């Protein structure tokens, strides 16, 4: 309960930070859209229309009040004719975000399905065959992947799998009509990129968590009572490793979601990350706020889940004395 | 115990050599030790830390710790040489034919599984009896080990039962597959004396009941005397001597074996006076919301030694923390040298701080590993007395001489010292402040018997020369006899009794003191039997 309320406070604080950072950015939506040659009165009129003339504190609380009622407001951009068939009417932020959020969740979901089991298997086996050539090369390679920035990894994939050996497309544009198989095919490269950048960290942490546990006395005891290698790992080490491992997974899933901002941009994928970058560019505050709020809440929720797993897997917390 | 044992050979270890890898090179841990064990017999393996007794015990299973290897030797168990078996073959013997009881039960149970599942896991692997039969049997074992609520205790997790109970459950776990041999590796070392008695008697009766052979490893002679039919003494990886328990106790042959007794023969004549250097009055103290001291009052006579004894959790170390100001009391006052001391460390003057010094249990962790002996002892001289340069160096050397070391130690780091030397440096550091009162918190309990004796003698000598007062916190009654003038007995955060040594250690006792004193093992092999008879009658 305490964790939950702390999580809410975190999300709230985050929204304040985003909001205030925005007020420090030079220019606002009105100056950005009307260009440098705009007359002062035109800018003023547009500001009044959007409510930008009110003091920031008032605007923040207006926005917050609406969010609590499930209303994320309307995009600024929609009111110009740039966004196409919606005509003069501005688009609801929710309507704008939901399909893109789905896309991003698809992307990160697939990447997570690939990255989590792979890194667990690699991490556990590296811990088992500690200091072998296998362990050394696995930890070495993972260090390289952790250290390279995601755009670099993305371009390496493009070079290898799209240019030199053309297997996958470099542009991952999808729309609502794209079939599932087609989706997998088109998103292959961004999925690989996200997998690779998070796998290294997860694998290394799994390895060290297991190694840490393998050196404890109850493992020696288990060996001396005749437990096989498999039994030692699965029955004795893993149940005690879930807490640290789930923490790392949570951090990496959140990192994946945030990493998707860059990756979506590189592969031109219609996800929430790309939407956010575009909206920052346009100073489209309601959209940016909503995106930021989504990122922050995912982060908090993932950590809550990890804590929960930590509690469930630890009888010391589950059954007090 | 020795009477009806068969002479059928169970285990024969010949010329065991084991090397261990540490500090970048290989060391010899065992240098050709032999061992024979007959069915149903209990062999005591004793020695100081580093003697190789634990390594020998594990080698009896054909197991070596990571970083160790068997160089040569035969381990014949029931005619099979364990040293030649593969890991896979050994696993069929481990836990079922030979089982192991570890020193720290709290660390040796897997925190993630229920006790019952862990108790029967080895027997389950045999696939002879179905799980429910094993569970019923385990409950019977729990009962015969006198565990409370034997029916349900197995459903709990390790953190939900006490240390003494865990140790008994581990014995049940070892016994569950009915092994031919059990290795007990210091099973009672981590327990309080009063708990130790219960665990010892439970282990002895169950081993007797099933006529299981056992190797009992310990550094405590009095404990091994209660358990073993035969005793083997190890030192530096070699055998010193071996004999039947009674012969060994009444007539030890080797000089070294005799010296193992010596600390117990150290006795100080008591003296006291009414001139109190420190009086604590009606002290209450708490960690967070849990209250640990209740109305504690103690008077410390000047220039004498007061021993505070009690089990873990009795509040003796907390009392020390309150006196030093590390833990402010919630009620009561401390009078030192006629003046009231502030509760908080930060509010005490430098002079007040100087006069009370503390020596800790673990010299390893009490010293900065990156500082040389010169820096460690020199700092308090500089800090409290403002002495610098040549004069300071002379002072440090003087202190080193006082603790029977010399100036060659000046540039050494703590890692280059033995355990006893480290504790001596800690004593010198306390003395460097020229204190009136030194609190010794379990200062000898991490040390071997012979080293203990040296430290205790040194502390007595220093008291005679400097007239310093000691508060000596310990759970070891032999140490108390050796050093104290007065004794304070504590139990669950309260003072049970305070008085002269002769008064406390002689009848009549209050109930708790009686229990505590009678639980201290004696060098008499019949001690445990007699004690249990007396308690049950």
Task: List, in order of start, the domains of chain B with CATH numbers.
Answer: 40-65+93-260 (3.40.50.300), 276-506 (3.40.50.300)
| pLDDT for position B232 | 92
User: Residue A180's domain spans which residues?
Assistant: 96-318
Q: How far apart are CA B312 and CA B190, in angstroms?
A: 10
Report residue A268: phi and psi, to 5°.
55, 50
* Residue A179 located in a structural domain: yes
Cα distance from A235 to chain B (closest Cα, Å)? 9
Q: How confident is the model at residue B471 (pLDDT cuts 50, 70, 90)?
A: very high
**Nearest CB to B121 within list A220, A225, A319:** A225
Q: How far apart are CA B164 and CA B153, in angstroms?
A: 13
Closest residue on chain B to A320 (Cα): B160
Mean pLDDT in residue range A261-283: 84
* Residue A90 located in a structural domain: no
What residues of A are in the B interface, CB distance below 8 Å? Answer: 216-218, 220-228, 235-236, 239-240, 313-316, 319, 321
What are the structure tokens assigned to B46, written together?
A: 């004793």
Burial class of residue B114 (count of CB atoms within 10 Å of its CB; 0-12, 13-18, 19+)? middle
Is the pLDDT score of B259 beyond 80? no
Per the CB < 8 A criterion, the answer to whether B127 and B92 are in contact is no
More confident position, B362 or B110: B110
Q: Which residues of B touch A239 (CB under 8 A)?
A: 110, 112-113
Q: How confident is the model at residue A127 (pLDDT cuts 50, 70, 90)?
A: confident
**Nearest CB to A226 within list B58, B94, B157:** B94
Picking from A127, A215, A218 by the largest number of B CB atoms within 10 A of its own CB, the best residue to mutate is A218
**Nearest CB to A225 within list B99, B112, B157:** B99
- Mean pLDDT score of chain B, rounded to an integer? 86
Q: Which residues of A touch B125 (CB under 8 A)?
A: 226-227
* Residue A67 located in a structural domain: yes
Contact: B95, A314; criterion CB under 8 Å:
no
Q: How far apart are CA B183 and CA B492, in angstroms?
A: 34
Q: What is the CATH number of the domain that holds A180?
A: 1.10.3720.10
Q: How far apart are CA B196 and CA B175, in angstroms?
A: 19
Considering the domain architecture, whether residues A197 and A287 belong to the same structural domain is answered as yes
Considering the domain architecture, whether residues A141 and A181 belong to the same structural domain is answered as yes
More confident position, A3 or B328: B328
Considering the domain architecture, whether residues A235 and A106 belong to the same structural domain is answered as yes
Q: How far apart are CA B134 and CA B175, in angstroms?
A: 11
* Residue A89 located in a structural domain: no
Segment (H or E) for B75: strand B68-77
Q: Which residues of B touch A321 (CB under 8 A)?
A: 159-160
| pLDDT for position A203 | 92
Q: How far is CA A208 from CA A277, B22, B107, B113, in A?
A: 36, 22, 19, 22
Is the pLDDT score of A87 beyond 60? no
| pLDDT for position A89 | 47
Question: Distance between terminal CA atoms of chain A?
Answer: 21
Mean pLDDT in residue range A222-226: 88
Mean pLDDT in residue range B212-232: 88
Is the pLDDT score of A54 beyond 70? yes
pTM: 0.75
Q: Which residues of B touch A130 (CB under 8 A)?
A: none
* A27: Cβ contacts below 8 Å, ≥ 6 apart: A283
The domain boundary, picked from A38, A57, A83, lies at A83
The domain boundary, picked from A56, A83, A110, lies at A83
- In this structure, of A69-83, A130-144, B26-40, B371-385, the range with the lowest mean pLDDT score is A69-83
Q: How confident is the model at residue B102 (pLDDT cuts 50, 70, 90)?
A: confident
The most confident of the ranges B34-48, B187-201, B445-459 is B34-48
Is the pLDDT score of A193 beyond 60? yes
| pLDDT for position A243 | 87
Contact: B96, A226; criterion CB under 8 Å:
yes
Q: How far apart are CA A285 and CA A30, in angstroms?
A: 11
**Cα Rg, chain A, nearest whole Å:** 24
Contact: A224, B95; criterion CB under 8 Å:
yes
Contact: A319, B160; criterion CB under 8 Å:
yes
Give me the helices (H) in B103-156, please. 105-108, 115-126, 131-144, 150-153
Q: How far apart are CA B414 and CA B363, in angstroms?
A: 9
Q: Which residues of A touch B94 (CB under 8 A)?
A: 223-226
Q: How confident is the model at residue B315 (pLDDT cuts 50, 70, 90)?
A: confident
Q: How far apart are CA B228 and CA B1, in angstroms?
A: 9
Q: How confident is the model at residue B297 (pLDDT cuts 50, 70, 90)?
A: very high
Q: How confident is the model at residue A27 (pLDDT cuts 50, 70, 90)?
A: low
| pLDDT for position B357 | 93
Q: Which residues of A touch B99 (CB under 8 A)?
A: 224-225
The domain boundary, picked from A83, A105, A130, lies at A83
Q: How far apart are CA B361 and CA B49, in angstroms?
A: 16
Total of domains in chain A: 2
- Cis peptide, bond prior to residue B508, ω within 30 of zero: yes
Read off the pLDDT of residues A28-42 as tens digits, 9 standing for 90 and up. 667 766 766 777 777
| pLDDT for position B526 | 83
Q: Which residues of B touch A314 (CB under 8 A)?
A: 111-112
For residue A315, the Cα-to-chain-centroid distance in whole angstroms is 31
3 state SS of B110: coil
Contact: A226, B112; criterion CB under 8 Å:
no
What are the structure tokens assigned to B43, written together?
A: 């062999």
DSSP 8-state class, residue B493:
T
Closest CA to B445 of B328, B334, B342, B359: B359
Q: Which residues of A touch B92 (CB under 8 A)?
A: 226
Considering the domain architecture, whether residues A30 and A118 belong to the same structural domain is answered as no
What are the structure tokens assigned to A81, written together?
A: 């004719």
* Residue A91 located in a structural domain: no
Is the pLDDT score of B182 beyond 90? yes
More confident position, A93 or A252: A252
Mean pLDDT in residue range A252-277: 85
**Nearest CB to A224 within list B63, B104, B159:** B63
Q: How confident is the model at residue B533 (pLDDT cuts 50, 70, 90)?
A: confident
Is the pLDDT score of B335 beyond 60? yes
DSSP 8-state class, residue B4:
T
* Residue A164 located in a structural domain: yes
Considering the domain architecture, whether residues A19 and A65 belong to the same structural domain is answered as yes
**Nearest CB to B94 within list A217, A225, A240:** A225
Which residue has 């634990």 as its token pair?
B54
Considering the domain architecture, whether residues A212 and A78 belong to the same structural domain is answered as no
Report residue B472: phi and psi, to 5°.
-110, 110
Please state, as a whole number, how many other Cβ atoms lie within 10 Å of the Cβ of residue A273.
Answer: 25
3 state SS of B153: helix
Per the CB < 8 A criterion, the answer to whether A249 and A202 are in contact is yes
| pLDDT for position A268 | 85
Segment (H or E) for A59: helix A56-68
Tell me: ipTM over 0.85. Answer: no
Closest residue on chain B to A220 (Cα): B108
For A166-194, give one letter per residue: b (16+ CB within 10 A) or e: eebbbebebeeeeeeeebeebbbbbbbbb
| pLDDT for position A49 | 73
Considering the domain architecture, whether residues A58 and A107 belong to the same structural domain is answered as no
Contact: A224, B94; criterion CB under 8 Å:
yes
* B313: Cβ contacts below 8 Å, ≥ 6 apart: B492
Closest CA to B69 of B15, B24, B16: B16
Q: How far apart are CA B48 and CA B448, in angstroms?
A: 6
More confident position, B63 or A22: B63
Percent of chain B whose pLDDT exceeds 70: 98
Give me the helices (H) in A175-237, please. 180-186, 188-214, 217-224, 229-231
Considering the domain architecture, whether residues A262 and A226 belong to the same structural domain is answered as yes
Percent of chain B whose pLDDT exceeds 90: 20
Considering the domain architecture, whether residues A151 and A197 belong to the same structural domain is answered as yes
Contact: A225, B100; criterion CB under 8 Å:
yes
What dihedral do alpha carbons B137, B143, B147, B149 form, nearest 10°?
90
**Nearest CB to B92 within list A220, A224, A226:** A226
More confident position, B356 or B287: B356
Is the pLDDT score of A190 beyond 60? yes
Considering the domain architecture, whether residues A29 and A156 belong to the same structural domain is answered as no
Considering the domain architecture, whether residues A141 and A168 belong to the same structural domain is answered as yes
Q: How far apart are CA A197 and CA A111, in angstroms?
A: 10
Please state, as a whole number, how many other Cβ atoms lie within 10 Å of the Cβ of residue B230.
Answer: 20
For residue B76, the Cα-to-chain-centroid distance in whole angstroms is 32
Q: Which residues of A touch B108 (CB under 8 A)?
A: 217-218, 220-221
Considering the domain architecture, whether residues A246 and A167 belong to the same structural domain is answered as yes
Percent of chain A whose pLDDT exceeds 70: 90
The most confident of the ranges A161-170, B428-437, B504-513 is B428-437
Q: How far apart are CA A155 and CA A149, in angstroms?
A: 10
Q: How far is CA A198 from CA A258, B21, B504, in A?
A: 11, 37, 66
* Residue A134 located in a structural domain: yes
% helix, strand, coil for chain A, step of 5: 80, 0, 20
Q: How far apart are CA B185 and CA B216, in angstroms?
A: 6
Give me the helices (H) in B252-359, please. 255-265, 316-324, 350-355
Closest residue on chain A to B104 (Cα): A217
- In this structure, of A1-5, B240-244, B378-382, the range with the lowest mean pLDDT score is A1-5
* A14: Cβ contacts below 8 Å, ≥ 6 apart: A292, A293, A296
Closest residue on chain A to B63 (Cα): A224
């Amino acid at each position: 309960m305490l964790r939950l309320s702390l999580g809410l406070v975190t999300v709230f604080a985050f929204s304040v930070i985003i909001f205030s950072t925005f007020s420090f950015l030079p220019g606002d939506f009105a100056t950005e859209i009307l260009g440098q040659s705009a007359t002062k009165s035109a800018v003023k009129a547009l500001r009044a229309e959007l409510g930008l003339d009110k003091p920031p504190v008032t605007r923040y609380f207006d926005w917050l009040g609406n969010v609590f009622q499930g209303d994320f407001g309307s995009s600024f951009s929609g009111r110009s004719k740039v966004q196409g068939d919606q005509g003069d009417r501005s688009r609801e932020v929710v309507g704008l975000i939901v399909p893109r959020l789905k896309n991003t969740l698809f992307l990160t979901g697939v990447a997570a399905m690939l990255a989590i089991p792979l890194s667990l298997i690699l991490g556990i086996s590296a811990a088992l065959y500690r200091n072998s050539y296998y362990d050394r090369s696995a930890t070495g390679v993972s260090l390289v992947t952790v250290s390279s920035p995601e755009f670099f990894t993305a371009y390496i994939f493009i070079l290898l799998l799209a240019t030199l050996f053309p297997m996958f497309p470099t542009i991952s544009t999808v729309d609502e009509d794209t079939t599932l198989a087609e989706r997998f095919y088109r998103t292959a490269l961004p999925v690989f990129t996200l997998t690779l950048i998070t796998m290294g960290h997860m694998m290394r942490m799994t390895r060290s968590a297991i190694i840490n546990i393998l050196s404890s006395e109850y493992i020696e005891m288990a060996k001396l009572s005749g437990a096989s290698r498999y039994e030692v790992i699965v029955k004795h080490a893993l149940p005690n490793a879930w807490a640290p491992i789930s923490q790392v997974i949570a951090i990496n899933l959140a990192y994946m979601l945030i990493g998707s901002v860059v990756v979506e941009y590189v592969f031109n994928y219609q996800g929430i990350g790309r939407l956010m970058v575009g909206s920052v560019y346009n100073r489209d505050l309601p959209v940016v706020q909503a995106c930021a709020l989504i990122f922050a809440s995912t982060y908090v929720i993932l950590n809550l889940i990890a804590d929960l797993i930590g509690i469930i897997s630890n009888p010391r917390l589950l059954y007090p004395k | 115990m020795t009477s009806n044992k068969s002479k059928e050979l169970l285990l024969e270890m010949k010329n065991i050599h084991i090397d261990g890898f540490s500090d970048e090179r290989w060391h010899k841990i065992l240098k050709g030790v032999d061992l024979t064990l007959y069915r149903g017999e209990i062999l005591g393996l004793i020695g100081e830390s580093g003697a190789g007794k634990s390594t020998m015990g594990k080698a009896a299973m054909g197991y070596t710790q990571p970083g160790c290897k068997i160089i040569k030797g035969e381990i014949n168990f029931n005619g099979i040489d364990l040293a030649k078996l593969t890991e896979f073959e050994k696993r069929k013997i481990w836990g079922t034919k030979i089982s192991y009881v570890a020193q720290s039960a709290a660390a040796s149970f897997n925190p993630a599984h229920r006790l019952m599942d862990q108790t029967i896991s080895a027997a389950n692997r045999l696939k002879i009896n179905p799980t429910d039969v094993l569970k019923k049997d385990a409950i019977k074992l729990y009962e015969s080990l006198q565990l409370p609520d034997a029916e349900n205790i197995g459903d709990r997790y390790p953190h939900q039962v006490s240390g003494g109970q865990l140790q008994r459950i581990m014995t049940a776990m070892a016994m569950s597959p009915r092994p031919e041999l059990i290795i007990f590796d210091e099973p009672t070392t981590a327990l309080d004396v009063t708990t130790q008695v219960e665990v010892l008697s439970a282990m002895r009766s169950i081993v007797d009941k099933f006529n299981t052979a056992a190797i009992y490893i310990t550094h405590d002679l009095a404990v091994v005397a209660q358990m073993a039919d035969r005793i083997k003494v190890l030192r530096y990886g070699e055998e010193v001597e071996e004999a039947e328990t009674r012969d060994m106790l009444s007539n030890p042959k080797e000089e070294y074996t005799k010296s193992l007794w010596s600390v117990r023969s150290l006795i100080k004549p008591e003296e006291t006076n009414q001139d109190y250097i420190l009086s604590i009055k009606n002290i209450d103290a708490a960690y967070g919301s849990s209250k640990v001291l209740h109305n504690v009052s103690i008077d410390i006579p000047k220039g004498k030694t007061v021993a505070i004894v009690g089990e873990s959790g009795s509040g003796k170390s907390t009392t020390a923390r309150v006196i030093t100001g590390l833990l402010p009391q919630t009620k009561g006052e401390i009078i030192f040298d006629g003046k009231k001391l502030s509760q908080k460390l930060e509010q005490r003057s430098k002079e007040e701080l100087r006069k009370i010094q503390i020596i800790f249990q673990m010299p390893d962790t009490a010293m900065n590993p990156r500082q040389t002996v010169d820096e460690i002892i020199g700092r308090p001289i500089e800090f409290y007395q403002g002495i610098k340069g040549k004069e300071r160096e002379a002072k440090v050397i003087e202190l080193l001489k006082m603790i029977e070391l010399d100036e060659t130690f000046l540039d050494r780091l703590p890692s280059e010292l033995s355990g006893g030397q480290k504790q001596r440096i800690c004593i010198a550091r306390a003395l460097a402040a020229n204190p009136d009162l030194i609190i010794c918190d379990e200062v000898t309990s991490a040390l071997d018997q012979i080293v203990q004796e040296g430290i205790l003698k040194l502390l007595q000598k220093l008291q005679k020369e400097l007239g310093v007062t000691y508060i000596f916190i310990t759970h070891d009654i032999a140490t108390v006899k050796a050093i104290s003038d007065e004794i304070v007995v504590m139990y669950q955060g309260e003072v049970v009794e305070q008085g002269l040594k002769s008064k406390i250690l002689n009848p009549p006792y209050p109930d708790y003191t009686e229990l505590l004193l009678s639980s201290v093992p004696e060098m008499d092999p019949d001690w445990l039997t007699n004690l249990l008879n007396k308690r049950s009658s």
